[in-house]
Structure 1
Amino acid sequence: MSIYKIAIGTPAEASHPGALRAALAEFFSMLIFVFAGQGSGMAFSKLADSGSAASSGLIIAALSHAFALFVAVSVGANISGGHVNPAVTFGAFLGGNITLSRSILYWFAQLLGSTVACMLLKYATGLETPAFAFSSGVSSSNALIFEIVMTFGLVYTVYATAVDPKKGNVGVVAPIAIGLIVGANILVGGAFDGASMNPAVSFGPAVVSWSWTHHWVYWVGPMIGAAIAALVYDNLFIDETLEPLAAHDL
């Protein structure tokens, strides 16, 4: 089972030049993703009449996040693996594709990138990036299930297109596949809980607006979904006779 592949790493790894470059790549990828994704929602709200074009706003959010994530994953792929998501990093860790030491470095960079992006949006627009929230009638358990299932689909896609040693030419389309599953999931869950699938994406707006209501859902759900996807794909579909991926290959 993949749980036996977990590697802790060493504290010295966090100061290794390669690890620092990878973390910096995660920071910039996250900044690009959040600035474009969240910023497009703010721009649409400014242009649209209040509440009169909710369906159009959902489509705009799905497209902007899909495009932005495609770019963010692509520009970071050769340096950090283009995780752009603490949940993806957690899934990679459970599969033995990255050490805990490097994972912590990635998480810090991802959270900082999201926060900086939201601060830049606040200063550029004069508005606060709204924190993720539930729609009327949506409970914590409803939102938790949404986040688990949507993040499962995301991390399963990451494993199938970017992690699996048998991926072959499919790896070329990994960034667009990852972007598309996020866009599709936003069309499903966006109207209910905002469809985060990414603790860092939720963290930046929460810090800037200082709104933490139900924030735990946007951590617990994605982490559970990522863990299930990683363990399922790694144990069922990755051939144990093949060489495991090095941390820098993801």
Structure 2
Amino acid sequence: MASTMLGACLRQSVTPAALRSYLAEFISTFLFIFASVGSSMSSRKLMPDASSSPSALVAIAVANAFALSSTVYISANISGGHVNPAVTFGMAVCGRISVLTAMFYWVAQLLASTMACLLLRVATAGQAIPNHAIAEEMTGFGGAVVESVITFALVYTVYAAGDPRRGSFGVIGPVAIGLVVGANVLAAGPFTGGSMNPVCSFGSALISGNFKNQGVYWVGPLIGAAIAGLVYDNVMFPPQLPSDSSHGVVEVVVGYN
């Protein structure tokens, strides 16, 4: 029985539609990381003291908001527009996608982030790839808490933006997702860099060779994403139970795609 179920999951994970979704995640994640990390590099080039400049923080937040809105929009109808392993994890925890599909999404996202950071490194003639880092006065635990909270906000917005019970959002859904990311970068940038995206932190760390506090940018976002999904699906919109009323049984199916 177990082998039969595993075989069925594998077959579903290599269909043409599934392969297109992995490619869509790769392209969207690549474009987002290129813009996100590239905006940090541009800020440092234009402003040597970018790490303490409010103008640089605003520029990076705006770039992240615009880039994520666009990349979610272009892949939403193909892969769901996750562009983030934390979003994928939250979807898997709540049963929106299978664990195997989530693993393939993670591979696509990790490869995309690594290639985007590598391309930036090569194209800029070896310019330093900026890493996310926690403030000197903070602990790793504090950094993980901050990342967990801001990722909760992101994933909760993703759930709301893709919920058909809230009506048709069209382009407004991706815009809302981008806006919450921009706001979170403004709020948490000086403390943790406002990552919310493990592969964004991983790709820059891998290419730069600096993995300091890398666990903060995985543990925090994954916990925040899981809590957001569970709260949205089980508290705000709990599953509908069969009704014996005259109206019959009502089924509510929620999907991000």
TM over 0.5: yes
Q: What residue number does 1:160 align with? A: 160
Normalization by structure 2: what TM-score?
0.89
For the Cα contact (< 8 Å) 1:32–1:117, is it kept in 2? Answer: yes
Q: Please give the per-residue CA displacement for 1:154-179, whole angstroms capped at 9, x wherever unaligned.
A: 011011111x2312123541100000
For the Cα contact (< 8 Å) 2:73–2:171, is it kept in 1? Answer: no
For 2:66 and 2:142, the matched residues in 1 are separated by: 27
For the Cα contact (< 8 Å) 2:153–2:228, is it kept in 1? Answer: yes
Normalization by structure 1: what TM-score?
0.91
Q: What residue number does 2:147 align with? A: 147
The runs of 5 or more residues in structure 2 that have no matched partner are 241-250
For the Cα contact (< 8 Å) 1:161–1:171, is it kept in 2? Answer: no
**1:243 corresponds to 2:252:** yes
CA RMSD in angstroms comes to 1.8
Q: What residue number does 2:100 align with? A: 101
Aligned counterparts, 1:98-247, within 5 A: 98-125=97-124, 126-162=126-162, 164-170=163-169, 172-238=171-237, 240-241=239-240, 242-245=251-254
> Which of structure 1's runs of 4+ aligned residues deviate more than 4 A?
none
For 1:190 and 1:141, the matched residues in 2 are separated by: 16
Number of matched pairs: 241
Instruction: Using the TM superposition, give the Cα deviation of residue 51 of structure 1 relative to its aligned residue in structure 2, in angstroms.
Output: 4.8
For 1:109 and 1:131, the matched residues in 2 are separated by: 21
For the Cα contact (< 8 Å) 1:165–1:238, is it kept in 2? Answer: no
Q: What residue number does 1:83 align with? A: 82
Q: What residue number does 1:4 align with? A: none
Q: Please give the per-residue CA displacement for 1:5-61, whole angstroms capped at 9, x wherever unaligned.
A: xx9871223322111110100000001001011101101111113358611111011
- The structure with the largest alpha-carbon Rg is 2
For the Cα contact (< 8 Å) 1:202–1:218, is it kept in 2? Answer: yes
For 1:238 and 1:20, the matched residues in 2 are separated by: 31
For 1:28 and 1:62, the matched residues in 2 are separated by: 21
| Distance 1:213-1:240 versus aligned 2 partners, 3 A rule | same
